[in-house]
Each structure stands twice: as structure tokens, then as C-alpha cells.
A and B are shown apart, each in its own frame.
Chain A
Amino acid sequence: MGDTLLTVTDLTMRFGGLTAVNALSFNAKRGDITAVIGPNGAGKTTVFNCITGFYKPTSGSISIAHTAGASMLLNKLPGHAIAKKGRVARTFQNIRLFGGMTVLENLLVAQHNELQAATGFGVLAILGIGKYRAAEKAAIDRAKHWLAATNLIDRADDPAASLPYGAQRRLEIARAMCTDPVLLCLDEPAAGLNPRESQALNDLLLKIRADGCSLLLIEHDMGVVMKISDHIIVLDHGKKIADGTPVEIRNDAAVISAYLGEGDDDDPDAPIAETLAAAE
């Protein structure tokens, strides 16, 4: 258990009259896998979009501490600087790869800022002088490292769009990791994976954590959440209803009622609730 990495304070996000996230506060610790769960429409993805700079929060603050004590306000940074300066990387619920580019190219685009800095405003690299060659070699080595970790090394020269679904999910994680983040935000990484792929994903996420990157994930697959999370935050209607370890969450009355619904047996989230109950 480390110190606090991500601090979300009184985060509120309104879209017109709709309050998607309402005065949400939570912390994520360094070196932890923190899961954000909740029924559909609870505001999980909105929280993610606020953290990763795709939405500007209506009010509240989000800060990240790269080292203990130092803190940087993410909600003050322009969108692209969240990944560059904030060192927060993300994946998307609906996979967003550069389909027409090869797997390797996808990973090199992720290292754009470091590589661009080595090109001498492009001019030196066009002329073939300067340190770009070495920088590109280092970038390819890092890409190879993540390709090996995600078991994609054989597909490195294939276009990303030609990969099967599970491999695309892994590639998106590898691409996010190539930006060298301190916090990786995963939006439903296990969606659409079969049990074997899901298990492989668990191993990958644990490996990422072991390498020193903290994780924040949204997930519906309780098998994944309960097995690997260190800390779980439960949202419902934009509010935090529970916060604690997997064991605490499993036995939390508010969570069970949010998932099962109170006396409502036509609940669309029933399958999730069953999984939740089964995980006990």
C-alpha cells in the first residue's frame, strides 16, 4: 500500500439539466488496482472522461501526485497534456485503434512526444542527422517489450484492424502503456472477452501493476474486478455509494440494493447482480 496517487475532490459534471456525476470524491493509491463499478448509467465513463481530460468538469478538482507530496491538477491541463504531462493513459470502451496502421506503428504513435523531440523540429531527421535514429530504435525496443507482454509480437507488422477482438483489446493496453504512464485508466477492458482471454487480461493487469504503474478500471465483469482489485469504488446515479476492499464491497448493503434494486425484480442489471452474488 503506497501513498495517494490520484485525488478526486467534489467532482461534479453536468450536461445541461442532467447531473451525471455529483460531488464525487475518492482516492486511488499508488501501486493499487482501483476499480470503479456501478450499474449502467451510473456515471463511471463520465468520471473517466473527466480524469483523462475529455470532459472539463463543471466543478471540483482532480489531482495526481507523480511523486509523494508533489501534486498536479489534471483538470487545469489541456486535453493532450493529460497523457504527456499528467502521465495518465487510457483505453476506450469501444476500441479506438489506428486500424490502417500496423501494430508496431500504433505503438510508435504512442511514443510520439519523445520521438518528435528527437527529430530537431523534423528538419534534422529529414536530413538524416541528429539523434533520431537512436531514439527510434529505443522506441521500437519499448514497443517490442509491450508486444511480448501482450503476446502480439507475431502480429507486429499486421494492420491493427485485422487483429481479432481480444488482440485489439490487448493492443490498446500496450499502446497506452507505451506512453509511459503512472496511471492507466481502462474502460471495460474485459468486455467481450472469453474466460480464457479474461484470465490472460488479469495476468497482464497484475504484471502492469507489478511493473509500477497504478491502474484505474471500469469493469462489469465481477470475476475480473473481485479477483484483481485492491480497492473498489461503487457509483450509482453519479454518487459514490460505497468505497472499500473487495470483501467490504461484497457485503455492503447499499451496493447489493443498487445492483438488485429494491423490490424491483425486472432490473436490467440483474445478471450483474447475480455475478456479484455468485462471487460471494
Chain B
Amino acid sequence: MRHLADNIKDSLIVGGVAFLLFGPFLGLQLTDGTNGNLALATRPVLLAIAVGLSIAARFLLLLWQDHRATRVPAVKLAAAVTKSGKYVAPALLIFAITLPLIPGIDNSYVDLGVLIMTYVMLGWGLNIVVGLAGLLDLGYVAFYAVGAYSFALLSHYFNFTFWECLPLCGILAAAWGIFLGFPVLRLRGDYLAIVTLAFGEIIRLVITNWVSLTGGPNGIYDIPHPTLFGLTFDMAGGPGTVSNFFHIDPDPSQRTTYLYYIILALALLTNWVTLRLRRQPLGRAWEALREDEIACRSLGINLRNTKLTAFAIGAMFGGFAGCFFATRQAFISPDSFTFIESATVLAIVVLGGAGSQLGVALAAIVMIGVPALLQDLQIYRMLIFGIALVTIMVVRPRGFISTRTPSVSLGKAKIISSDMISEGHG
């Protein structure tokens, strides 16, 4: 426990640093002086507020740290979080399923739900590579792009429909996962991260520059929307449309709702496959790979195949998500597949707790939902968002849910605390 005097001293030092930092920024201001010259004015009140806030924040943080030191041990806390997770996950699922059915819900919320679900799915896909296999992939957007462009090109040149393309997009993305996985098999850590990042950029640059095929920066227009057993969601309401068939008034929310349930089903498929695989030799081999590659090899596990399956299956779900993205937007261009997308998805995985399905879903809701809901706050939006991210990383450095549930047990399964779990070599 820190002594109170120490805390006060520490806070005052922080106040001093804050004064030095904020002094020039907030304390001084250029104003119009006499004769059209610039004059220097001071803003002592603003400066005092900033310094005062810094001191108070530091003091509260120290108090909280003292409090934390005497609190329940991390394992107990983790067990409590996981226990409550038992109820959070079904509650979230029920909410996700009923969201578009809530009477009077605005279409924009369902649309936001579609966006969040897309990122939940991407997060779950990347979780296989980063969370389970421990391979740091900074170029996940490449597979998202492969999926999206596969569908866009197949529909543009060969008039394929969404449902025909969906499996193809997954297969093509998985093939690219293997293709790009081969060169990075021997790389670990920083090197793996840099090379995967480069692959993400290469794919985007190829799409941008191969103008004759992809339309380059202009993108591809008029990608067909998904149909419901051949029925389209056309606002005109002619023959062969959903509204005509069911004798209801055409409404934009019908298509949004349909898209929402497609992505929900795709995301749940991702989740289901991941959960099943985790309890199988392949999933266990991924986790063993994350824990110790050399020991894996000594036990006769083929590292090449194990890594490539992780890349391929992760990429496949990225491809599905990309295919969905293309059909939802009806227009794609290389701008949608920049590095920031990879970074966002990786942030979702890390923030949620690598390896945890529920954590990733929660993180996607926070990362995508909160900025969208804070639109009204305009410029402060990103500030609040940034502070929230930093806070979470301080409070829970290994993500929302950092514990691991064993895939098999003789007696009652015990939750494994995060300090036992290795983060992988890259």
C-alpha cells in the first residue's frame, strides 16, 4: 500500500509535468494586437483547469491502484467474469436474433447491427489465427478483399448470384490464405507481422492498379443484392419481388433485415465451427503451437500443415465476410480494404481477449458500435473512444476476457488464468 503523502507527492509531480506540457498549448494564445501585429495573451484559467484535472486524475488513479492491490485475486475475478459470461452470451444471442423484430426500431440501428455483425465475424475469423494459433496477422484485410472482389468480379463478368458466390469466395480466400501462408511459415513475431502487413497492402495495390480487370480506384458498381429463394428486394414491388410475393408494401427495412439475418447466420457459423474445432485435435494443436512450437514438433505435429490450416480457415471466414460486404454495399473499391481495416479487426481481437469468442463479440460492439452511436459528439468522438481504449488496456491488459476454458476435462473444467497462457511467438 502506498502512503497518502507519497500519493500526493506523485500527483503534484504529474501536475508539474502537466503544467510544462499544457503551458504552451493551452496557457498561451496568439491574438490580434494593436497595429495589426500579433500579441501573446495568456489563459491562466484554462491552464489551471487542465493542470488541476491532471492532478486529480492521477490521485484518483493511485487511490484506485491501492484499492486494487487489496482486492480479490485476478483468478477469482476472471472466474466471476467467465461465470457471468454464461449468461451474457445467451442474452447477447437472444438480443441479436430479436433486434430487427423490436417494434418500431429505426432502420439505421439494424444497419448498424449489420456493420457490427460483419466485424464480429471478421474478429472471430481472425481469432482463429491470432487468438488460437498465436500467429500475429496484420494483413487480414487481404482475405476480406479477396472475398469481396471474388464476388464482385464473378457477378460482373459471369452474372453469378450471391448465394452461388458465397462458398466460392470462402474457397478462394482460403486458397489465398494457404498461398500467402507458405512464405511466412518460418517467420515469427515482428517479422511475421511485417510480412503479413505487406501482403495486405500488396493485394490492395494489385486491385488498385489492375484497372482493366477490377476497374482500379473506381471500383465495381451494381453488385447484386442477395435474393430470397429467387425473390428480390426491389422498391418498385413488381413481379418476382418479396413485397409482391408476400403482398406487403415494399420497404427498405426488409432488405436490411434480410442482410442482418444473413450476416448473423454467417457469424454464428464462424463461431460454431471455431468452438467445435477448439475441442478437436486441430484446435488443440493450434493452441499448443501458440504455447510452444518446439514442443509441438517433438510430439510429431506437422507445423506446416497446422499453421496453414489456421491461415486457411481464418481466411475462409474473412472471404465469406468480404462476399457479404460486397453484396451489402453493392459497390466496392480498394479504399474499403486499407490497413486500418486490418488494424480495427486486430484491435477487436486483442481488446476482446485473444482466444475468447464472447470477448471478441463484446469488443466488436464497443469498437464499432460506440463510435457510431457517438456521432452527435462530433470531434470529441475519437477522443472519448481513445480514452476508452486506453482505459480498457490499463484495466485489463489481456483483453475483456483473457481466461481460457479447457477443451476437455476429467472432472469439472477449471478456468485457466491469463498469466499461465502464452501469447504466441507472433
A interface residues, Cβ below 8 angstroms from B: 52-54, 79-84, 89-90, 92, 96-102, 104-105, 108-113, 115-116, 119, 122, 125-126, 132, 136, 140, 144, 153, 156-159, 161-162, 175-176, 179
A162 near B277 with CB under 8 A, answer: no
CB neighbours (8 Å) of B301 from chain A are: 80, 109, 112-113
A157 near B292 with CB under 8 A, answer: no
**Could you give 6 example pairs across A and B, Cβ below 8 Å?**
A84-B302, A113-B301, A116-B281, A157-B406, A157-B413, A162-B420
A144 near B410 with CB under 8 A, answer: yes
Minimum C-beta distance from B424 to chain A (A): 10
* CB neighbors of A among B247-305 (8 A): 273, 276-277, 280-282, 284-285, 287-288, 290-292, 294-303
Tell me, in angstroms, the Cα distance from A99 to B299 when the chains sit together.
15
CB neighbours (8 Å) of A108 from chain B are: 281, 284, 408
Q: B interface, how many residues as a size bin?
A: 35 or more
Minimum C-beta distance from B385 to chain A (A): 31
CB neighbours (8 Å) of B407 from chain A are: 105
CB neighbours (8 Å) of B84 from chain A are: none
B410 near A104 with CB under 8 A, answer: yes
* 6 extra interface residue pairs, beta carbon distance < 8 Å, beyond A119-B282, A158-B414: A52-B298, A100-B420, A101-B284, A101-B416, A115-B281, A140-B410
B292 near A83 with CB under 8 A, answer: no
Judged by a CB distance under 8 angstroms, whether B404 is at the interface is: yes
Minimum C-beta distance from B56 to chain A (A): 39
User: What per-residue 1/0 map shows which CB atoms of B402-421 lie under 8 Å from chain A?
Assistant: 00101111111110110011
Minimum C-beta distance from A144 to chain B (A): 7
CB neighbours (8 Å) of A153 from chain B are: 410
A81 near B416 with CB under 8 A, answer: no
B284 near A109 with CB under 8 A, answer: yes
Q: Name B410's contact: one of A52, A89, A157, A161 (CB within 8 Å).
A: A157
Minimum C-beta distance from A57 to chain B (A): 17
Judged by a CB distance under 8 angstroms, whether B422 is at the interface is: yes
Tell me, in angstroms, the Cα distance from A53 to B301 when the chains sit together.
13
Give the residue among A54, A108, A157 with the most B Cβ atoms within 10 A: A157
Minimum C-beta distance from A114 to chain B (A): 9
The chain A residue sitting closest to B272, CB to CB, is A126
Tell me, in angstroms, the Cα distance from A99 to B421 when the chains sit together.
6
CB neighbours (8 Å) of A179 from chain B are: 299-300
Minimum C-beta distance from A217 to chain B (A): 15
Tell me, in angstroms, the Cα distance from A113 to B282 when the chains sit together.
10
* CB neighbors of A among B293-335 (8 A): 294-303, 309
Minimum C-beta distance from B353 to chain A (A): 13
> Knowing A80-B302, A109-B284, A119-B281 touch, does A100 contact B416 (C-beta < 8 A)?
yes
Minimum C-beta distance from B281 to chain A (A): 4
B298 near A99 with CB under 8 A, answer: no
The chain B residue sitting closest to A83, CB to CB, is B300
CB neighbours (8 Å) of B409 from chain A are: 102, 104, 156-157
The chain B residue sitting closest to A185, CB to CB, is B298
The chain A residue sitting closest to B273, CB to CB, is A126
User: What per-residue 1/0 map shows which CB atoms of B374-406 lie under 8 Å from chain A?
Assistant: 000000000000000000000000000000101
- The 3 tightest CB contacts between A and B, nearest first, are A83-B300, A100-B421, A84-B300
Q: Name A126's contact: one of B276, B292, B422 (CB within 8 Å).
A: B276
Q: Name A99's contact: one of B291, B302, B408, B412 (CB within 8 Å).
A: B291
Tell me, in angstroms, the Cα distance from A129 to B281 when the chains sit together.
15
> Knowing A96-B292, A96-B294 touch, does A82 contact B282 (C-beta < 8 A)?
no
Minimum C-beta distance from A251 to chain B (A): 36
B281 near A100 with CB under 8 A, answer: no
Tell me, in angstroms, the Cα distance from A136 to B155 when the chains sit together.
44
CB neighbours (8 Å) of A156 from chain B are: 409-411
Give the residue among B294, B298, B407 with the most A Cβ atoms within 10 A: B298
CB neighbours (8 Å) of B417 from chain A are: 159
A92 near B280 with CB under 8 A, answer: no
Tell me, in angstroms, the Cα distance from A122 to B416 when the chains sit together.
26
CB neighbours (8 Å) of B288 from chain A are: 98, 101, 109, 112
Tell me, in angstroms, the Cα distance from A212 to B290 when the chains sit together.
33
CB neighbours (8 Å) of B273 from chain A are: 126
> Knowing A52-B298, A83-B298, A159-B416 touch, does A100 contact B280 (C-beta < 8 A)?
no
Tell me, in angstroms, the Cα distance from A224 to B344 when the chains sit together.
56
CB neighbours (8 Å) of A80 from chain B are: 297, 300-303
CB neighbours (8 Å) of B302 from chain A are: 80, 84
Minimum C-beta distance from A147 to chain B (A): 8
A105 near B406 with CB under 8 A, answer: yes
Minimum C-beta distance from B203 to chain A (A): 27
Tell me, in angstroms, the Cα distance from A116 to B282 when the chains sit together.
7
> Knowing A119-B280, A122-B280, A126-B277 touch, does A109 contact B413 (C-beta < 8 A)?
no
Q: Name A161's contact: one of B294, B296, B413, B420 (CB within 8 Å).
A: B420
B299 near A79 with CB under 8 A, answer: no
CB neighbours (8 Å) of A90 from chain B are: 298
B280 near A104 with CB under 8 A, answer: no
A101 near B287 with CB under 8 A, answer: yes
User: What per-residue 1/0 map shows which CB atoms of B71-102 lie under 8 Å from chain A?
Assistant: 00000000000000000000000000000000
Tell me, in angstroms, the Cα distance from A98 to B285 when the chains sit together.
10
A140 near B281 with CB under 8 A, answer: no
> Knowing A80-B302, A157-B410 touch, does A100 contact B287 (C-beta < 8 A)?
yes
Tell me, in angstroms, the Cα distance from A54 to B298 when the chains sit together.
8
Minimum C-beta distance from A116 to chain B (A): 4
Minimum C-beta distance from B319 to chain A (A): 18
B292 near A97 with CB under 8 A, answer: yes
> Knowing A97-B295, A98-B292 touch, does A112 contact B416 (C-beta < 8 A)?
no
A92 near B295 with CB under 8 A, answer: yes
Q: Name A100's contact: one of B295, B299, B410, B422 (CB within 8 Å).
A: B422
B416 near A92 with CB under 8 A, answer: no
Tell me, in angstroms, the Cα distance from A211 to B158 when the chains sit together.
64
Minimum C-beta distance from B142 to chain A (A): 24
Tell me, in angstroms, the Cα distance from A175 to B291 when the chains sit together.
15
Give the residue among A112, A132, A158 with the most B Cβ atoms within 10 A: A112
